[in-house]
Structure 1
Amino acid sequence: MTEYATADVLVLGSGIAGCAAALAAAREGQRVLVATKAERPADASTDWAQGGIATTRDSPESLKRDILTAGDGEADPDAVDALVEDAAAAVEDVLVDTLDVSFDGDGDGFDYAQEAAHSEPRILHVDAATGRHLLRPFLRHLDDHDHVRMLEDTAALDLITDEGRVTGALLDRDPETGERAATGAPVFAGSTVLATGGIGDLYRRSTNPGGSTGDGLAMAALAGADVEDAEYVQFHPTAYDDEDPFLVSEAVRGEGAVLRNADGERFMPDYHEDAELAPRDVVARAVAAERDATGEVRLDVSPLDFAGEFPGLAETCEDRGVDWEAGIPVAPCEHFLCGGVAVDTEGRTSLDALYAVGECARTGVHGANRLASTSLLEGLVWGLRAGEAAAGDGWTPDPGDPPELRDRDPDLPAGFADEKFRRLRRVMDEHVGLHRSGDDLRRAQGVLRRLKGEVDSYVRTRTSRDLYELRNAAVVGLLVSRAAAENPESAGCHHRTDDAAPEGTPDAGH
């Protein structure tokens, strides 16, 4: 194994946020190394994104109002301003001019879709599989870029720090040889950008790809970075009701699909004046309440030409044996972390030379509840901003003695990490899910502290990806449960049952 590797900018993650950061830094002439756990392309969350990417069209103020309203009073207006000010230019520069993404049209221009909590149609999309049509050409473009090097199937194990400055990361694969590194392969960089995605693996049912263990958030927190709004975990209201769910895009309701309970009753008008197009947190809690009361909720797609307008979703239903003509069984499902590593409008964290973008970052845009189809836009805008800022740091790392992890004890029994993960998910589902209470959160923290202690004792003497992922998941579980316990007031997707109207009653959801 080589002693260490270097880069001007190290990007951890390969979704739209990581790709945008890499592109921006490379445009400044920086040597960029992108290390990602994903094996392209379907392991990155961006590839799973369905609905589309929100735009400002002719009214940035309208988009700002909708984001602030959906965020339930917790979004940062300055961050939202930064998003809407850059939105049109970022989409045109990267997605249209550079990547030549073929967004759906209506004959006269783009076919803008309507989604929940948006006051007008403004969503650029490709069928209901927008993410893959953005990410795959983005990855190909970076493959051909002289200043970018991609490492797939490579996990970051820990950040390297020196007196409050992040100087790189330890990877589980040697960047030069491609071999597994038993004690970690150090990469020293002038700047490091976290773009590691979400936390779906902390819950039994999630719309995230496997491996979404909150790595960037955990590593940053362990290194001392500030974390904010971790309690705001968004649950999507319409995921297929199964142990192996798939997302049924918000856009389907935007085109006229309605939610019905097991009695065939359309119930959303009783919960919110915008009915199926209410904010996600409202719809998710209403769906949960109706499932509890009647046994089932189905998404009735008969008001639209489902197969014609959403052929990809219709094909998925058919492949999974779902008779969509009879309505698609749906239930809330973990979807998106609105908080994360606290950053400014350039993606800077509280640690020198460390940036965070995408779902692992808390930009302040989403507040307590993310507006539909803003995640791709936020990742693009903050990725570009952070990549340019990271390129301007102008610092050459002095590696010194490369750190080494310990790998001296025998491998753990097969299934060890899986069993611990099942325990973690059970705790998160039961106590830190769609509804929380003080008692539940205290129980969760007790279990999670014990679990993290157990895992730490193994991590000290063993180096393996699954152990570090388990450690990261336990750290993030504690961050989420602690933030939820410290916030006694319900807001958006943080719903305290000890601060709420009785469940199942109209208008109790918001």
Structure 2
Amino acid sequence: MNLVVAGSGIAGLTAALHAQQSGHSVTLVTKDALGGGCTPLAQGGVAGIYGPGDSPRQHAADTLDAGAGLSDAMAVDVLVGEGSARIAELIARGVAFDRDVNGTLLLGREAAHSHARIVHAGGDATGAEISRALIAQVHDRGIDIVEHAFLLDLLIEHGAVRGVRMLHHGVTLDITADAVILATGGGGQLYQHTTNPLGATGDGIAAAIRAGAAVADLEFVQFHPTVLAAGGSFLISEAVRGEGATLIDDRGRRFVFDSHPDGEMAPRDVVAGAIARQAGLQRSPVRLDATMIGAARLTQRFPTIDRSTRERGFDWAREPIPVTPAAHYLMGGIRTDLDGRTSIPGLFAVGETACTRVHGANRLASNSLLEAAVFAARAAAAAAVPAHSIPLRSQFTSLKPANSDTNCDRSGGFAHSRGLLQELMWDRVGLVRTPDGLAEALTSIRSWAAAAPAPASVADYETANLLTVAEAAASAALARTESVGAHQLSREPALIGA
């Protein structure tokens, strides 16, 4: 059968390789060149290798705890049950995870994990190494690749997906298929401050919403606690805290213990919230103190971060550095079953584009790359089964498919409004929310969407997609009336030291 895989991060590359190895004809389409997206930027590792005293059961318990009671237990069991096999597969495909002098995999620990079970590559360059190895495999296998192809919409026939409509070098291109696997990433560009690249504009999620697919948990946006508060949104890996770094206020006090007994190693939503509150109180960024780790160890274990902080004028081996939260990961997405099936026959979703409900209300560190690999392999296998869907009802509708007769530059049109949307989302649908603020945001988003002209560039299409996903996210946040995980409600707006 013919499959189209949209996206070339770990989820898309894994799905394409598994589908091709099963004998299917695979076309891999990607928004930019191979090697773009979020995967190459991932500093953290892949959870799922268990040492003495650890087990998949313990990993599942940590995942469920971090998810604040909203993770799907069956999905979590799949994740931890198949995780080690997927890591072994990555090694077989050429991923060079870090090892000690005896050749044993080095295991790291990050926040909310009860054991050291995370493998890394290049110290803090895991995503880049995974991307390199999988891209090499895709080329070696002769999989058809279409680069610089922007996803406009899904092709629907008799209620089922029959391909994709792309914009490729200014020309509208329809690619028909027996099944489509969306692996287009999340929507970090919804926010004024994000760790995500410019291309993370929710394109696959928006296309699925327009096609009538069910989405879920879009109110749960994870804000990474420690992003350098100077020189752009450069992420400081959670593994730095796993090595012993601490978070301190302007008096040098480790303030996170006021919010959780695990302090800096508490779940991300707790740590990010504590940082935001403290930064608001002192009206300046909090600081990450890694000086106790030592210059030699920082350079060896975190070469990318060490180089980047120094390029920005900080010597983190000698003095604490200012940090702030930033939008990092979308726990929600297109609702799927355990095999990546969506509510539309023939449509599958994997990676950050999908909502398997593994992450619940708050993702456990280093589970995202694992989830992408595990469920991408399952989706590729399930795509061979005759098309059917899971019984889910779409909760949101938004922009209708726009005229796709345009060119492929990122200038002109109404892209200037993206900054207003990002500011609105940061202020009203961000780390801390209020019911009134959410209602105001939803009204503004709907007004902007209704008034938006037909897109005239790729940037315009991206902004339209962000408006679609923003409407769904704000609607979901307004509907959830209790604080849980990454969805924190307050009667007063928070001051975030960004």
1:138 corresponds to 2:143: no
Shift of 1:411: 11
TM-score (norm 2): 0.91
2:421 maps to 1:424 = yes
CA offsets 1:396-419 (integer angstroms, 9 cap, x no match): xxxxxxxx9746799999544331
Pick one of 177, 182, 189 that aligns with 1:194: 182
Distance, in Å, in 2 between the alignment partners of 1:113 and 1:102 is 12
- The equivalences for 1:116-131 within 5 A come to 116-126=111-121, 127-131=123-127
1:360 is matched with 353
User: Larger deviation: 344-353 or 97-106?
Assistant: 97-106
CA distance in 2 between partners of 1:243 and 1:231 (Å): 28
Question: Which residue number in structure 2 is paired with residue 33 of structure 1?
Answer: 27
Match of 1:180 among 170, 181, 194: 170
Q: Tell me the alpha carbon deviations over residues 192-219 of structure 1, each in whole angstroms, 9 at most, x when there is no partner.
A: 0010011111111111111100011111
1:348 partnered with 2:341: yes
Q: Which amino acid aligns with 2:212?
A: G
The Cα shift of 1:393 comes to 3.7
Corresponding residue to 1:45 among 32, 38, 45: 38
> C-alpha separation between the residues in 2 aligned to 1:51 and 1:433?
23
Task: In structure 2, give the amino acid aligned to 1:282.
Answer: V
* Pair 1:259-2:247 in alignment: yes
Which residue type is aligned with residue 34 of structure 1?
A: L
Is the CA contact 1:233–1:334 (under 8 Å) kept in the aligned structure 2? yes
- 1:142-183 CA-to-partner distances (Å, cap 9, x unmatched) read 01113x11112111111110122011110101xxxxx430xx
1:167 and 2:162 correspond: yes
The residue number in structure 2 matching 1:454 is 451
Give the whole-Å Cα distance in 1 for the aligned partners of 2:404 and 2:358. Answer: 41
In structure 2, what is the equivalent of residue 228 of structure 1?
216
Residue 310 of structure 1: which of 299, 302, 317 is its match?
Answer: 302
Give the corresponding residue for 1:319. Answer: 311
Cα gap change, 1:258 to 1:386, in 2 (>3 Å)? same
Q: Which amino acid aligns with 2:434?
A: S
Task: Check 1:327–1:193 CA distance in 2 against 1; reply closer, same or farther (3 A cut).
Answer: same
Match of 1:215 in 2: 203
Counterpart of 2:62?
66
Distance 2:408 2:137 in 1: 39
Structure 1 gap ranges (5+): 1-6, 174-178, 396-403, 505-510
**Does structure 1 conserve the Cα–Cα contact (< 8 Å) formed by 2:409 and 2:458?**
no
1-side partners of 2:40 and 2:95: how far apart?
17
Distance in 1, Cα, partners of 2:408 & 2:103: 61
Matched, 1:90 2:108: no
> Could you tell me which residue of structure 2 aligns to residue 268 of structure 1?
256
- One-letter amino acid of the counterpart of residue 351, structure 2: G
For the Cα contact (< 8 Å) 1:168–1:187, is it kept in 2? yes
**TM-score scaled to structure 1, two decimals?**
0.89
Map Cα deviations across residues 365-401 of structure 1 (whole Å, 9 max, x no partner): 0000000000000000011111111134489xxxxxx
The residue type equivalent to 2:57 in the other structure is: E
Residue 384, structure 1, aligned to residue 377, structure 2:
yes
Amino acid at match of 1:291: A
In structure 1, C-alpha distance between the alignment counterparts of 2:407 and 2:78, rounded to whole Å: 50
Aligned to 1:482: 475
Name 1:301's counterpart in structure 2: 290
Name the CA distance, whole Å, in 1 between partners of 2:249 and 2:117.
Answer: 30
Shift of 1:307: 2.1
Paired residues of 1:190 and 1:393 also in contact (CA < 8 A):
no
From the superposition, tell whether residues 376 and 414 of structure 1 become closer, same or farther in structure 2 (CA, over 3 Å). Answer: closer
2-side partners of 1:413 and 1:359: how far apart? 24
Q: Is the 8 A contact 1:56 1:63 kept in 2?
A: no
Q: Contact 1:157/1:465 (CA < 8 Å) preserved in 2?
A: no
Percent identity of equivalent pairs? 40
Residue by residue, what CA displacement relative to the aligned partner does 1:2-52 show, whole Å, maximum 9, x if unpaired?
xxxxx70101100000011101100111111111113232x2100010110
Structure 1 counterpart of 2:417, which letter? K
Q: Is the 8 A contact 1:338 1:369 kept in 2?
A: yes
Match of 1:508 in 2: none
Partner of 2:393: none
Counterpart position of 2:326: 333
Distance in 2, matches of 1:226 and 1:394, equals 17
CA contact (8 A) 2:245 2:293 kept: yes
Asked if the contact 1:8–1:391 (Cα under 8 Å) also holds between the matched residues in 2, the reply is no
* 1:459-483 Cα deviation digits (max 9, x unpaired): 4xx5x32221111100000011000
Structure 1 residue 101 displacement after superposition:
2.4
The Cα offsets for residues 332-368 of structure 1, whole Å up to 9 and x where unpaired, read as: 0000000110000100000000000000100010000
Describe the shift of the 1:258–1:407 C-alpha distance in structure 2 as closer, same or farther (beyond 3 A).
closer
> Per-residue deviation at 1:99?
2.2
Give me the whole-angstrom Cα distance separating, in 2, the residues matched to 1:250 and 1:369: 15
1:473 counterpart residue number: 466
Partners in 1 of 2:267 and 2:403 — Cα distance? 47
How many Å separate the matches in 1 of 2:409 and 2:179? 35
Instruction: Measure, in 1, the Cα distance between the counterparts of 2:179 and 2:251.
Output: 57
> Number of paired residues?
474
2:227 alignment partner, SS class: strand
Aligned to 1:111: 106
Which amino acid letter does the alignment assign opposite residue 470 of structure 1? T
